[in-house]
Amino acid sequence: MYENRVDTLRGTFKDLGTDAFWIIQPENRRYLSGFKAPDGQLTESSGSLLITLDEALLITDSRYTTQAEKEVQGFEIVTQKGGFVEELSNTLRRLGTKRLGFEGGHLVWELFEEVKEKLSRQSPPIDLVPLKGVVEEIREIKEPDEIEILRRSAELMSDVLGRVIAELEPGQSEREAAWKIETLIREQGAEESSFPPIVASGPNSALPHAVPTERTLREGEPILLDVGAKLDGYCSDMTRTVFLGGASDNFKEIYMTVREAQLSAFKSVKPGMMTAEADSIARDHIAKAGYGDYFGHSLGHGIGLAPHEIPAVSPLRPKPLREGMVFTIEPGIYLPGKGGVRLEEMVLLGRDGAELITTNKDFYSF
The type of residue at 44 is E
- Quick one: average pLDDT of 234-246? 96
- Output the pLDDT for position 361: 59
Query: Does residue 366 carry a pLDDT above 70?
Result: no
pLDDT digits over 64-77, tens only? 999 999 999 899 99
The DSSP code for 17 is T
pLDDT digits over 81-132, tens only? 888 999 999 999 999 999 999 999 899 999 999 999 999 998 899 999 999 9
Q: Is the peptide bond before 311 cis (omega within 30 degrees of 0)?
A: yes
State whether the Cα torsion 158-160-162-164 is positive or negative.
negative
Residue 270, φ and ψ in degrees, nearest 5: -160, 160
User: Rounded to 5 degrees, what angle do the CA atoms 165, 184, 222 make?
Assistant: 25
pLDDT digits over 187-200, tens only? 999 999 999 999 99
Residue among 298, 281, 220, 291 nearest 256 (CA): 291
| Dist CA 349 CA 329 (whole Å) | 12
| Dist CA 119 CA 123 (whole Å) | 9
Reduced to 3 states (helix: H, G, I; strand: E, B; else coil), residue 291 is: coil
Confidence grade of residue 363 (pLDDT, cut at 50, 70, 90): low
Residue among 279, 262, 255, 265 nearest 205 (CA): 255
pLDDT digits over 308-353, tens only? 999 999 999 899 999 999 999 999 999 999 999 999 999 999 999 9
Q: Calculate what percentage of the chain has a pLDDT beyond 70.
A: 98
Alpha helices in 73-208 (DSSP H): 84-95, 109-120, 134-139, 144-166, 174-187
pLDDT digits over 145-175, tens only? 999 999 999 999 999 999 999 999 999 999 9
Burial class (CB in 10 A: 0-12, 13-18, 19+), 10: middle
The DSSP code for 222 is E
Query: Does residue 4 carry a pLDDT above 80?
Result: yes
The type of residue at 332 is G
The residues facing 226 across adjacent strands are 198, 239
Q: Who contacts 179 (Cβ-Cβ below 8 Å, separation ≥6)? A: none
pLDDT digits over 259-268, tens only? 999 999 999 9
The count of C-alpha atoms lying within 13 angstroms of the C-alpha of 265, restricted to the half-sphere facing its C-beta, is: 35
Across the chain, what does the average pLDDT equal? Answer: 95
- Output the pLDDT for position 364: 56
Sheet holding 300-302, edge to edge: 309-313, 300-302, 326-329, 345-350, 353-356
| Dist CA 296 CA 283 (whole Å) | 10
| Dist CA 171 CA 157 (whole Å) | 24
The DSSP code for 269 is -
Instruction: Kindly list the distances between the CA atom of residue 352 and the CA atoms of 159, 272, 277, 321, in Å, as whole numbers in the listed order.
Output: 28, 11, 17, 12
